[in-house]
């Protein structure tokens, strides 16, 4: 079967979407260009308006176009990925006094914003209790819930867990924890990060995550369960990062022993 034969067997909506996607990839339609209306597309391809509407939906799911209420559908600007990896915890970076996220945003010329949603004493989730080595049946952790933005675009949700016995009465309980963020305060408590363990998985977002991250339908998230270990091999911080997969990459440059 030839490519032409396979194309002819596709639903009309997918054929229209493929044609428009090819035009975007070739540069015939560029970022900011407005797509023809559903009526015009239907007339152009000899299809029903519902078929044209479905084609636009397919393009939106692929992250190629976005609808602006009352204005139409426009080709999206390609998003540069935020790349998070092993170097974000380096001592050289901490000398800047900036948190890893603020450094990454600065590299890309973006304005970072971190909204601290809550700082509460809680019973830890089971996986956190295991990694932080704290009791899982009592309020043994402080949970800091942060939402991260770049140029007001949501990028990630971060849930950080610290031992209650260490965090109580310190700046770790405050929204602004000082230079170098929480890692600066944890170093003052005697925890120098010497090793990290990141467990990475991909999944579909919960409804709440999709709303917070303003995700298009069908876009997954990357979840990183991060554990910081100190000079004694003791875990002292666990964070769950939920990244939007259409704007985030993970880059690790590690020695092989």
Compare 185 and 70 and report the one with higher pLDDT: 185
Is residue 196 within 8 A of residue 227, CB to CB? The reply is yes
Return d(Cα 55, Cα 233) in angstroms, integer. Answer: 54
Domain boundaries, the chain: 3-75, 82-251
What CATH topology corresponds to 82-251? Chorismate lyase (3.40.1410)
Q: Full-prediction pTM beyond 0.85?
A: no
Could you tell me where the DSSP H helices lie in the chain? 3-9, 12-26, 38-45, 49-61, 91-94, 100-107, 126-132, 164-167, 181-188, 207-212
**Minimal CA–CA distance to 116: which of 73, 71, 176?**
176
Is residue 35 within 8 A of residue 73, CB to CB? The reply is yes
Return d(Cα 252, Cα 191) in angstroms, integer. Answer: 23
Compare 137 and 82 and report the one with higher pLDDT: 137
Residue 136 in this model has a pLDDT that exceeds 70: yes
pLDDT score, position 2? 44
pLDDT tens readout for residues 107-125: 778 888 999 999 999 999 9
Domain 3-75 grouped into CATH 1.10.10.10 = yes
Return d(Cα 160, Cα 167) in angstroms, integer. Answer: 12
Residue 92 in this model has a pLDDT that exceeds 70: no
Q: In this structure, are strands 82-85 and 248-251 parallel, antiparallel, or unpaired?
A: parallel
Neighbours of 119 (CB within 10 A): 18
Q: What six digits make up the tokens of 107?
A: 């590299």
pLDDT tens readout for residues 197-242: 999 999 999 999 999 998 877 789 999 999 999 999 999 999 999 9
pLDDT score, position 84? 63
Is residue 208 within 8 A of residue 173, CB to CB? The reply is no
Return d(Cα 221, Cα 212) in angstroms, integer. Answer: 12
Return d(Cα 61, Cα 74) in angstroms, integer. Answer: 13
Return d(Cα 63, Cα 218) in angstroms, integer. Answer: 9
Neighbours of 213 (CB within 10 A): 24
């Amino acid at each position: 079967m030839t490519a032409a034969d396979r194309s002819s067997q596709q639903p009309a909506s997918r054929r229209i979407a493929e044609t428009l996607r090819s035009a975007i990839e070739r540069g015939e339609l560029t970022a900011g260009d407005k797509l023809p209306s559903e009526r015009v597309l239907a007339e152009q391809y000899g299809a029903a308006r519902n078929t044209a509407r479905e084609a636009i939906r397919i393009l939106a799911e692929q992250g190629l176009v976005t609808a602006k209420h009352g204005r139409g559908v426009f080709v999206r600007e390609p998003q540069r990925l935020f790349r998070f990896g092993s170097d974000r915890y380096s001592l050289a970076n901490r000398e800047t006094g900036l948190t890893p996220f603020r450094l990454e945003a600065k590299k890309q010329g973006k304005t970072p914003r971190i909204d601290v949603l809550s700082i509460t004493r809680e019973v830890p989730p089971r996986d956190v209790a295991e990694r932080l080595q704290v009791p899982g049946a009592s309020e043994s952790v402080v949970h800091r819930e942060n939402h991260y933005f770049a140029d007001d675009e949501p990028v990630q949700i971060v849930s950080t867990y610290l031992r209650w016995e260490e965090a109580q009465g310190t700046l770790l309980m405050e929204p602004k924890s000082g230079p170098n963020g929480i890692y600066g305060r944890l170093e003052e408590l005697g925890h120098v990060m010497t090793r990290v363990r990141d467990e990475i998985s991909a999944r579909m977002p919960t409804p709440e995550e999709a709303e917070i991250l303003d995700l298009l339908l069908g876009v997954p998230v990357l979840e990183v369960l991060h554990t910081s270990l100190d000079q004694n091999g003791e875990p002292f911080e666990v964070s769950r990062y939920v990244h939007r997969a259409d704007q985030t990459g993970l880059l690790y440059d590690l020695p092989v022993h």
